[in-house]
């Protein structure tokens, strides 16, 4: 199965007792599906993967698959800086029936290029679930280069990448390198930055793993569908309508602004776990101005 369109990097709602709000998470799954998105990602960066436990991460994947119930493409956040732990998460995602697993480049330990290849080869050879690479150097300290990505793309189960490097030239170089290897139709490029989704799609990307779609699932998914049809005039109109929202959601560390917005809209989100904490007052004011402009509150 090959994904294209809009997938939402979902927040993980917490209760006041700092447990996963399972009812709220299920509510959000249905709200986003009703909003028209094609896919849902649980336990990614926006889902606070860094501060949820392994058991909580597995539980979120289970909840996603159960509640989505084939009404949306399900993506399991399954990355770690430990290859063994990442493999455990990918196996769990496969066992519970997720459509794919999103596997971030290992963070902090900064593996060499050949280490990255071995990391993904281990996961590829040990499972049968489709795997989406996640390259986000601002978070991990590692930027997977084009040559390494294309080498990994040759593995049977590697189906695409969520590319969150803001270098648009890299998208062109990835596409050209994939074409040279004859695998450009087997590997999907997805935007990892909402504000760059449209430019990336104009270069051959097929969609986005979106933070902003938590807030405006219809807007983001409509924009992406227009772009997939080649109607860039309509897509561009929505891009500029949502542009300030896309930017303001990163005024402080993700997902702090997103959770503030969702709470303001009466949508289950709860607090963020330490070391993340509440927004500064000036950020709250700026965000509320954007929300009022979009009539979201």
Q: What's the domain count of the chain?
A: 1
Pick the range with the lowest mean pLDDT from 1-10, 11-20, 94-103, 211-220. Answer: 1-10
Pick the range with the lowest mean pLDDT from 137-146, 215-224, 254-263. Answer: 137-146
The β-bridge partners of 100 are 75
pLDDT band, very low/low/confident/very high, at 278 (cuts 50, 70, 90): very high
Assess if residue 96 is contained within a domain.
yes
Lookup: tokens for 120: 């993904």
Q: What is the pTM of this model?
A: 0.97
In this predicted structure, the answer to whether residue 70 has a pLDDT above a threshold of 90 is yes
The annotation status of 46 as a binding-site residue, yes or no, is yes
Q: Find the CATH number of the domain harbouring 143.
A: 3.20.20.70
Assess if residue 211 is contained within a domain.
yes
The annotation status of 209 as a binding-site residue, yes or no, is yes
* Owner of token pair 């990442």: 86
Q: Which domain holds residue 120?
A: 5-231
Q: Mean pLDDT of all residues in the chain?
A: 97
Assess if residue 261 is contained within a domain.
no
Assess if residue 133 is contained within a domain.
yes
Strand blocks (E) in the chain: 5-9, 39-42, 73-77, 100-104, 131-135, 158-163, 188-191, 207-210
Assess if residue 294 is contained within a domain.
no
Assess if residue 66 is contained within a domain.
yes
CA distance 21 to 162: 27
pLDDT band, very low/low/confident/very high, at 2 (cuts 50, 70, 90): low
Catalytically active residues are 134, 162
For residue 129, which of 82, 95, 81, 85 has the smallest C-alpha distance?
95
pLDDT band, very low/low/confident/very high, at 297 (cuts 50, 70, 90): confident
Lookup: tokens for 61: 């994947």
pLDDT at 267: 98
Assess if residue 289 is contained within a domain.
no
Assess if residue 263 is contained within a domain.
no
pLDDT at 3: 85
In this predicted structure, the answer to whether residue 1 has a pLDDT above a threshold of 70 is no
């Amino acid at each position: 199965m090959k994904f294209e369109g809009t997938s939402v990097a979902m927040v993980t709602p917490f209760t006041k007792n700092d447990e996963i709000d399972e009812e709220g998470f299920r509510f959000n799954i249905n709200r986003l599906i009703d909003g028209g998105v094609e896919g849902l990602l649980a336990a990614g960066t926006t889902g606070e993967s860094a501060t949820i436990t392994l058991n909580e991460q597995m539980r979120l994947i289970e909840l996603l698959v159960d509640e989505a119930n084939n009404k949306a493409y399900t993506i399991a956040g399954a990355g770690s800086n430990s290859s063994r732990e990442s493999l455990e998460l990918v196996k769990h995602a496969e066992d519970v029936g997720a459509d794919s697993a999103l596997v971030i480049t290992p963070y902090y330990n900064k593996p060499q290029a050949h280490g990255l290849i071995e990391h993904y080869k281990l996961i590829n050879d040990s499972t049968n679930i489709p795997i989406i690479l996640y390259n986000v150097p601002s978070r991990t300290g590692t930027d997977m280069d084009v040559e390494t990505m294309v080498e990994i793309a040759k593995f049977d189960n590697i189906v695409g990448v969520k590319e969150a490097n803001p270098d648009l030239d890299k998208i062109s170089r990835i596409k050209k390198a994939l074409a040279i290897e004859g695998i450009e139709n087997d590997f999907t490029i997805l935007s990892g930055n909402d504000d760059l989704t449209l430019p990336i799609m104009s270069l051959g990307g097929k969609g986005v793993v979106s933070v902003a779609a938590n807030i405006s699932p219809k807007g983001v998914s409509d924009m992406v569908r227009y772009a997939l049809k080649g109607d860039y005039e309509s897509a561009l109109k929505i891009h500029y309508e949502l542009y300030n929202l896309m930017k303001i959601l990163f005024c402080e560390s993700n997902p702090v602004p997103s959770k503030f917005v969702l709470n303001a809209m009466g949508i289950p989100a709860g607090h963020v776990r330490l070391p993340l904490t509440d927004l500064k007052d000036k950020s709250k004011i700026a965000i509320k101005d954007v929300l009022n402009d979009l009539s979201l509150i």
